[in-house]
Chain A
């Protein structure tokens, strides 16, 4: 069965510093890959997604993610974190064929220090 691992439960980053959130997946074939963000008390918002092609994908709010097939990873990055980026981030996968049922990781909570 497919699974998604986000090894970091919490990460604290200073404002202005760079950020990398890790995501590893286990799947028989290359799935569709997503990063969602959840601000406190809110629903989830899509940051970016990868289907095929260029392995570096750009998203909203200055985020990017790189797909590495050899490592089964899809890590999220941002060069300079803003205080408003404090939120919970979820990596998710969906099968590339058939009906899209998302499988989510357990999330990483990002704290931004002044």
Chain B
């Protein structure tokens, strides 16, 4: 069991470039999440997918899009990267979004936008 995997681990972009962060889980979880972590701000929810085929905005969705490709995979796309999107991005999954299910986190992607 790999748990939650994320690719790439590191990425440097120039302003205006686009990229997609990939996330996959092998725990047969229904719900998946994307967070960003910035110094002094904790983790903030960008988008989540309660179940396959659904996606919803979180606290900070502007500048991002997501795709729930199938039950295993949930990608995050930056269409036109900005320096304000420099951050560490974490993907997480849980059995479902109710009853306080534990969220399992991937190792993160460190993104720098120049």
A residues adjacent to B (C-beta < 8 A): 4, 9, 32, 34, 36, 41-46, 49, 51, 90, 94, 96, 98-102, 104-107
Contacts and interface: CB of A to CB of B under 8 A. Distances in A.
A102 B50 contact: no
Interface residues of B, number: 25
Contacts, number: 59
Interface of B: 4, 31, 40-45, 48, 50, 58, 90, 92, 94, 97-103, 105-108
Main secondary structure of the interface of B (DSSP, over half): loop
Contacts of A90: 42-43
A43 B4 CA distance: 10
B43 A51 contact: no
Contact of A106 (B31, B40, B58, B105): B40
B22 to A, nearest CB: 15
Nearest to A36: B105
